Amino acid sequence: MKLRICHLYPDVLNLYGDGGNIICMQQRLKWRGIDSDVTRVMIGDRLKLSEYDLLFIGGGQDFEQEVLLPDLQSGKDTEIRAAVEDGLTALTICGGYQMLGQYYETYDGVRCDFVGALDLYTVGSRTRMIGNTVFHCTPECGGSTVIGFENHSGKTWLGSTVEPLAKVEVGFGNNGEDKTEGAHYKNVFGSYSHGPMLPKNPAFCDHLLETALTRRYGAVKLEPLDDRAEQTAHDNMFRRLTKHKT
């Protein structure tokens, strides 16, 4: 068994060590004797998503999102849309999450027409939504509680054909108003959570890995690992954040 990971725009979209999510996925597979490889796809490179089991896109500022737009619109957008419909597993963070939506209108009025794989859009606001977060994933997204960190000014609004990834307990989530966080459509999981997100949320990491491996190999249930260190980090943050919430 082997997981083939595609890391799209790793040099442009990698805020707050988002790439650490890949290290975490690979390590959790390795501990179970499962192989993986990562292909880094940059601006100008060809993207053929049928060659992969999991697509990862990190976050970036408005500036970087605008920089990569011509490359995205030169064919990668259609490739991503088709792969998402076909059930490719994806984890996309913040700027990368916004990028799979219909569009992003920045606070200074620049409109970025994005991929349109997910029925959602984002509008820049004056408020910067920043800080640690706690959110509860829906049962379809594994049902775990995630500790995260967000920093965005874009407010994301979900359309009727996507579901939220989670319900916010602490923090802003998609827009600071409707208590939703992230999005889930087919096998795509979008989130505002940087950090990187996965090391202190091992249950969510395994849910992603199982989703991706199951699509390729048929029902895969990963064996449990000794997650005491990860769980302690998770639980300490959970206690701190929920104690101080207003």
**Residue numbers of the site for ligand GLN (CB under 6 A)?**
15, 59-62, 65, 94-95, 98, 151-154
Question: Closer to ligand GLN at the Cβ: 151 or 214?
Answer: 151
Question: Closer to ligand GLN at the Cβ: 58 or 142?
Answer: 58
Of the residues 194, 205, 207, 234, only one is catalytic, namely 194
Q: At what angle do helices 202-217 and 20-30 cross, to 10 degrees?
A: 70
The answer to whether residue 136 is catalytic is: no
Question: Closer to ligand GLN at the Cβ: 155 or 207?
Answer: 155
d(CA 4, CA 6): 7
d(CA 35, CA 70): 34
DSSP state of 163: B
The distance of closest approach from Cβ of residue 63 to ligand GLN in the complex, given in angstroms and rounded to an integer, is 8
Strands 180-181 and 183-185: unpaired
Length of the chain: 246
Phi first, then psi, for residue 142 (nearest 5°) are: 105, -20
Q: Which residue has the tokens 């995205």?
A: 72
Question: Closer to ligand GLN at the Cβ: 116 or 176?
Answer: 176
Of the residues 6, 24, 94, 112, only one is catalytic, namely 94
Strands 145-158 and 120-137: antiparallel
The distance of closest approach from Cβ of residue 216 to ligand GLN in the complex, given in angstroms and rounded to an integer, is 29
Q: What angle do CA 114, 92, 141 make, to 5 degrees?
A: 120
- Here the tokens at position 139 are 């049962």
The answer to whether residue 194 is catalytic is: yes
Question: Closer to ligand GLN at the Cβ: 73 or 231?
Answer: 73
- Here the tokens at position 192 are 């505002």
Beta-bridge partners for 5: 38, 54
Q: Which residues are catalytic?
A: 94, 194
